Amino acid sequence: MGDVWAFGRDSGFVAGQVLVGFNVESADGVIGHVERLEDEPGKQHLVVDTGVWKFGRSVLIPAGAVTVVDGEDRKVKVAASREEIKAAPRFTTDSETTDHGYLAEVGAYYVSLRG
């Protein structure tokens, strides 16, 4: 993966693509569905509604964690596991999507998962 805040060239993401409503999956199960997509260069990320598995909370997933965008099946696959996403810095308000400190914390967390 390249930059944690950008979709990888091999992900299948097309600039301007609408991902709202797409299912989000990890290798170990469904995470939820895309509520919002931030497509601004250097800050690309998904806000994902996790539904019941995380008590209805949303999570912020940097675009660099996305491995596949499947427009035909309306599915986004991510590299992180469900447990890794649950352990990520907690997303609570939309204002955090512009908070450089929060974004740095989330970015560092996902970079640390790369191994």
Indicate the pLDDT class of residue 94, thresholds 50, 70 and 90.
confident
pLDDT tens-digit readout, 12-63:
999 899 999 999 999 899 999 999 999 988 889 999 998 866 556 899 999 9
Q: Average per-residue pLDDT in the chain?
A: 91
pLDDT tens-digit readout, 64-78:
999 999 999 999 999
Give the pLDDT confidence score for residue 1 in this predicted structure: 41
Q: Per-domain residue ranges for the chain?
A: 22-113
Q: What is the CATH number of domain 22-113?
A: 2.30.30
List the beta strands (DSSP E) in the chain: 23-26, 29-38, 45-49, 58-62, 66-70, 75-78
Indicate the pLDDT class of residue 104, thresholds 50, 70 and 90.
very high
